[in-house]
Structure 1
Amino acid sequence: MFKHLITGTATLALMTGTALAQDVAREDTVIFDLDRTITDPTNFNWLTDGTGVRRMHGGHQVMWEPLFILDYNTGELDPWLAIGFEGNDDSSAFTISLRDGVEWSDGEAFNADDVVFSINLALENEEITAREASAIRSQVASVEKVDDLTVSVTLQAPNPRFMVENFGIRIFGSYLIMPEHIWAGQDAATFTFPEPIGTGPYTFTSAATNRAIWDRNDDWWGAKTGFMDLPEPQRVIFLETGGEESRAQLIAGNDLDAAQNVSVGTFEAVRAQNAAVIAWYEDYPYAAADPCARQLEINTTVAPWDDPAMRRAVAHIIDRSQIVNVAYEGTTEPSRTMFAQYGAMQPFIQAAIAAGGELPMTADVDAAQALIEGAGWTRDGDYYTKDGETLSVEIHVNSASTEYTRTIDVVVEQLQRAGIDARSVPVENGVFWGEVLPFGAYEMSYSWLSCGSVNEPWASMGRYTVKDVVPVGERSPGFNNTARWDGAAAEAYSAAVDEMASLPLGDPQIVDLVGQAYGHLAEEMPFIPLVQAAKLIPFNTTYWEGWPTNDNYYNHPFFWWNTGHQIVHGLTKVE
């Protein structure tokens, strides 16, 4: 599967541009895979970064700690920097209780002043663009300090999901608290935070475009207060590995401890070389279910895809089973609806199916071509044409992962065979998330913008309401409704979803509202669900044990999330 294995610390030194350390041995160092270049190694202002890259190389995994962490296994919010919260009767205000004894790594106390200041950063600075900041700005009316360990947040409208959405790491990250004593007086849009600090057990040592190094703070507040023992790794490195073959070589040679997603073939080749490499499941399909189901985004303002019939035609052409078998090597399953297919989501999935929203596993090209021809297109050789124009489409895809590009290669081939001149347009990660998606600079694109719902439906459905429609060329708020879906059906959908938003979690009316809304979604097809996402994440147990697996399910295995703190704390040194 890969040509040869490069082993030994010489490889690591070559990749990082530095030896491991003068005083930190390999067996005391944990090395995580980074799937992207650090474009500005001295800039840690995550608030102006929509792609997460300024925090994914260790910032929010080992330095910036969250208030809470959502346990995917239990559905509960586990306390971290905060110990609890309480909402008022209609969930329009929340009181957050902070943990006593928390300190920034420079010794300053972490308290309510930092939380109030950080929330106000989002409220008072329209120019900061991180998704989490946009969410705070759209939901919070005001925030105030009650006392040093208590914060009161008043919302613009009732939202029973406020805490898990913004401070619980439901998906990828949370709104991160910054130190007031450093950020006060700085321009939130331009301050680079070049010497970053956090409350976490590691402090920043150095970074280059291909790696970031973090060293343990043995004076960490958590150990001093008895909250948690110091993590065992003395050093943590996030290393850009340069792609699947390279990461396979490194993890097989014990120069990488946790790798980004790989194919089944690559994983099996690695494991044949090194029996210490494991995954979520011990046996096939190995991969863990990812909460962000994959889909084809469609810009509904661009002809001919502004016609719902043409969008439905594309949905008929796509063979989801082939995507599973070819692009994912059988490690996942076709999406039945827009939702991640977790057990808690089953009532809502069934409501969507009853409303006509279930997608077929295989293609119905005849039905697709009937819709295309009904829109006035005529097959002329390989492709359909109308008024001298060939029916064509460009599909933008993030080039950061072979998962993305392989999937769109399959979709392009399917569309080509059906008479649409489709072409894949790979773009660099920063451009994809910074320009293509938020500004609607695409006809179609591959992504997961309905991501959000893991235990209730509003988090995903609320991303496609008309309140977030903006013109092409203007940034979509929080990446919501980048399809610019509008019109009567979208209005009716939005009314049902808005009603759902005000109901408490578990209210039986929510299931009925899902059915009402989903009927409009299925008819209009502003995006096309494709497959459930699966991540085959190799972990190396040569130096470290305690990785999250199905048999050691303390949480999911996505080490690039803000939940990475749990993984680092869960590791124990192999003796």
Structure 2
Amino acid sequence: MFGCSAERSELPPGVLVITEGEQTAAFIRNFNPLAEVGDVRWAATRAIYEPMMIFEPIEGEWLPWLATGSAWNEDATQVSFTLREGVKWSDGEAFDADDVRFTFELLRETPALDLRGVWSHIEAIEVRGSHEIAFTFAAPHVPGFSDLAHQPIVAEHVWSKVEDPISFANEEPVGTGPFTEVRTFQTQVYELGKNPHYWQPGRPAVDAIRFPAFASNDQASLALVRGEIDWAGYFVPVIDRTFVARNPEHHHYWFPLLDGTVFLYANTELEPYDDVAVRKAISRAIDREMVVKVAMHGYTRPADATGLSDAYARWRDPEVAKGDWVKHDPDKAGAALDAAGLVRGSDGWRTLPDGSRWRPQINVPAGFSDWVRAGQVMAANLQAVGIDARLKTYDFGAWFDKLQRGDFGLSLGWTEVDPTPYGFYRNMMSPATVVPLEESAPVNWHRYGSAEAEAALADMASVADEDRQRALVVRLQQIFSEEAPAIPLFPGPLWAEFNTERFTGFPTRENAYASPSPNAIPQALLVLTRVEPRGSSTAQPEPRP
């Protein structure tokens, strides 16, 4: 695949070339940071717009960004943020607390944009002068901090004039981030220049960021191997041989298992996936060791029964993790399917209660070559126990639309990473996150609600003491393992490849100042404000602004 001898394309000096995580054959010009991923460009939430604070999972710390600090009241019903002074929008207008207030009020007025569900908990917002703002919750809600702190903030003087913020493509963005100026935009490539008013002195050190379009991981990998990309975040097979060996001095990677767990989602609104015994039978049919070996080239490991990735390693309960429903056991899988009435017909294939052959389709985005291979392995695993499963690939936008609307039986998908497992289990099991089929769901694509989980989540939201939180997280792990709302496959690696021939300052194992992947939202901002051209005389800034 990587044996092509074509000449390397010349790279523009001072321009950092990055790949978008969601491969697509053609870009759509959309920089709306409030909309869900899909056609929204990478830069919207990683370079143009910024949050008040950034959680860095490697150290488990909150870093100040547009806010310099925060404080809770005694009963955890109100949190206030002190905003950074001297920040300007890229058009020169001053940033202040009214922009923050406006952003959250816009989410209240347009619920489809409230992707984190903040208004299910917020009761009031109070502006306390130009650079302080307070949020009051209807009840104690400690996990709400991350939803507030990570929300991209938009400019009131721009967005107050927008008639439809949902469909607004925001083609000429005005942000506070390091790169805001659209130099060029074509379907195959776009480029953003520096924010002329960026608040970090001397930053960014890079002149511009550039994004070429690739229809698949394989195409992007070829460009990476040829040295045409500076920073990438996707699966590359046998990377030591295909990438590092080409230029050992400058070609590097780091794949910590800090991304969300990758799941096989079973739509629990549909039969037979509404039966926990069937979901666990499907799980037992999957040979995760083979998935990890064949599809992921050993970059990760099989998931355990908690569903947690290493981003939550300090929260994982070792006893719950031992649950055997995530172990490959086709005999147990077959017996459970028989007991559920999904028996084999005379042709060897299992049938549904109406007598028709069970022919599930596993949906996967076509550009994710690792997921495609994982889907192929799993389809073969399910066929081995009599389920006539087939892999179906879609362009990313079509796949994600189906996932959100619940237009699937089985589909691969990711999970988001939050500072604590609260967000993970809420998105996985809270009835409050379940929406009807055909409505777009920002989370809980499998439409599963657990009353027991909701009670534990409510208790966890009201306590700030970590020991009490830890006990509640153990209970959530137990509920997850008992009810199997979705089928965990493997902890997601944070894909991060970088070429230091032209730029330096990327995170490494030895200098782990940030999550290394360009896919990390909003942590990519930490990298964009640290990377600099090779040989630059600019002194390295402190890791925290």
TM > 0.5 between the two?
A: yes
- In the TM superposition, what is the alpha-carbon distance from 1:258 to its structure 2 partner? 1.3
- In the TM superposition, what is the alpha-carbon distance from 1:123 to its structure 2 partner? 0.8
Label 1:453 to 1:121 Cα distance change in 2 as closer, same or farther (>3 A). closer
Q: Distance in 1 between matches of 2:350 and 2:107?
A: 48
Residue 475 of structure 2 is aligned to residue 493 of structure 1: no
8 Å contact from structure 1 (residues 105, 217) kept in 2? yes
Task: Name the aligned partner's letter for residue 457 of structure 1.
Answer: P
Q: Distance in 2 between matches of 1:412 and 1:146?
A: 57
8 Å contact from structure 2 (residues 258, 492) kept in 1? yes
Label 1:136 to 1:376 Cα distance change in 2 as closer, same or farther (>3 A). closer
Q: Distance in 2 between matches of 1:291 and 1:95?
A: 29
Q: Distance in 1 between matches of 2:114 and 2:221?
A: 32
Q: Is 262-271 or 179-188 further displaced after alignment?
A: 262-271
2:370 is matched with which residue?
Answer: 403
Secondary structure in 1 aligned to 2:91?
coil
8 Å contact from structure 2 (residues 258, 309) kept in 1? no
Output the TM-score relative to the length of structure 2.
0.90
1:502 is matched with which residue?
Answer: 462
2:17 pairs with one of 31, 36, 40: 31
1:245 pairs with one of 218, 225, 230: 218
8 Å contact from structure 2 (residues 25, 214) kept in 1? no
Secondary structure in 2 aligned to 1:384?
coil
Q: Distance in 2 between matches of 1:220 and 1:517?
A: 42
Residue 445 of structure 2 is aligned to residue 442 of structure 1: no
Label 1:178 to 1:343 Cα distance change in 2 as closer, same or farther (>3 A). closer
8 Å contact from structure 2 (residues 263, 489) kept in 1? yes
Listed one character per residue, the Cα deviations across residues 199-241 of structure 1 (whole Å, up to 9, x for unaligned) are: 1232222212222211124543321xxxxx3222112112223
Q: Distance in 2 between matches of 1:195 and 1:360?
A: 47
8 Å contact from structure 1 (residues 352, 514) kept in 2? no
Label 1:389 to 1:522 Cα distance change in 2 as closer, same or farther (>3 A). same
1:571 pairs with one of 517, 521, 531: 531
Secondary structure in 2 aligned to 1:118?
helix
8 Å contact from structure 2 (residues 78, 134) kept in 1? yes
1:161 is matched with which residue?
Answer: 143
- In the TM superposition, what is the alpha-carbon distance from 1:400 to its structure 2 partner? 2.9
2:154 pairs with one of 178, 194, 219: 178
Label 1:255 to 1:518 Cα distance change in 2 as closer, same or farther (>3 A). closer
Instruction: Report the RMSD for the aligned CA atoms in angstroms.
Output: 2.4
Secondary structure in 2 aligned to 1:289?
coil
2:194 pairs with one of 191, 211, 216: 216
Listed one character per residue, the Cα deviations across residues 495-530 of structure 1 (whole Å, up to 9, x for unaligned) are: 223222222150x33343334444443233221111
2:443 is matched with which residue?
Answer: 479
1:534 is matched with which residue?
Answer: 493
Secondary structure in 2 aligned to 1:33?
coil
1:299 is matched with which residue?
Answer: 267
1:423 is matched with which residue?
Answer: 390
Label 1:79 to 1:7 Cα distance change in 2 as closer, same or farther (>3 A). farther
2:538 is matched with which residue?
Answer: none
- In the TM superposition, what is the alpha-carbon distance from 1:369 to its structure 2 partner? 0.9
Label 1:165 to 1:36 Cα distance change in 2 as closer, same or farther (>3 A). same
Label 1:299 to 1:64 Cα distance change in 2 as closer, same or farther (>3 A). same
- In the TM superposition, what is the alpha-carbon distance from 1:294 to its structure 2 partner? 0.9
8 Å contact from structure 2 (residues 216, 366) kept in 1? no
Listed one character per residue, the Cα deviations across residues 150-193 of structure 1 (whole Å, up to 9, x for unaligned) are: 111112332112222332xxxxxx31111111112322234332
1:384 pairs with one of 350, 356, 360: 350
1:551 is matched with which residue?
Answer: 510
Q: Distance in 1 between matches of 2:190 and 2:120?
A: 33
Q: Distance in 2 between matches of 1:201 and 1:427?
A: 33
2:30 pairs with one of 9, 33, 43: 43
Output the TM-score relative to the length of structure 1.
0.86
Q: Distance in 1 between matches of 2:25 and 2:72?
A: 39
8 Å contact from structure 2 (residues 351, 357) kept in 1? yes
- In the TM superposition, what is the alpha-carbon distance from 1:466 to its structure 2 partner? 1.8
Residue 183 of structure 2 is aligned to residue 205 of structure 1: yes
Task: Name the aligned partner's letter for residue 134 of structure 2.
Answer: S
1:523 pairs with one of 476, 479, 482: 482
- In the TM superposition, what is the alpha-carbon distance from 1:277 to its structure 2 partner? 4.2
Q: Distance in 2 between matches of 1:157 and 1:291?
A: 30
- In the TM superposition, what is the alpha-carbon distance from 1:372 to its structure 2 partner? 1.2
8 Å contact from structure 2 (residues 309, 491) kept in 1? yes
Residue 123 of structure 2 is aligned to residue 146 of structure 1: no
Q: Is 316-325 or 301-310 further displaced after alignment?
A: 301-310
Map residues 105-116 of structure 1 onto 2, 5 A cutoff.
105-116=90-101
Q: Is 248-257 or 314-323 further displaced after alignment?
A: 248-257
8 Å contact from structure 2 (residues 124, 135) kept in 1? yes
Label 1:310 to 1:28 Cα distance change in 2 as closer, same or farther (>3 A). same
Q: Distance in 2 between matches of 1:38 and 1:408?
A: 21
Listed one character per residue, the Cα deviations across residues 122-174 of structure 1 (whole Å, up to 9, x for unaligned) are: 01123x33624xx223232222211001111112332112222332xxxxxx3
Unaligned runs of 5+ in 2: 536-545
1:512 is matched with which residue?
Answer: 471
Secondary structure in 2 aligned to 1:200?
coil
- In the TM superposition, what is the alpha-carbon distance from 1:383 to its structure 2 partner? 1.4
1:373 is matched with which residue?
Answer: 338
Q: Distance in 2 between matches of 1:335 and 1:318?
A: 11
8 Å contact from structure 2 (residues 46, 522) kept in 1? yes
- In the TM superposition, what is the alpha-carbon distance from 1:359 to its structure 2 partner? 4.6
Label 1:240 to 1:180 Cα distance change in 2 as closer, same or farther (>3 A). same
8 Å contact from structure 1 (residues 339, 453) kept in 2? no
Q: Distance in 2 between matches of 1:393 and 1:344?
A: 32
Task: Name the aligned partner's letter for residue 159 of structure 1.
Answer: H
Residue 208 of structure 2 is aligned to residue 235 of structure 1: yes
Residue 318 of structure 2 is aligned to residue 350 of structure 1: yes
Q: Distance in 2 between matches of 1:106 and 1:547?
A: 29
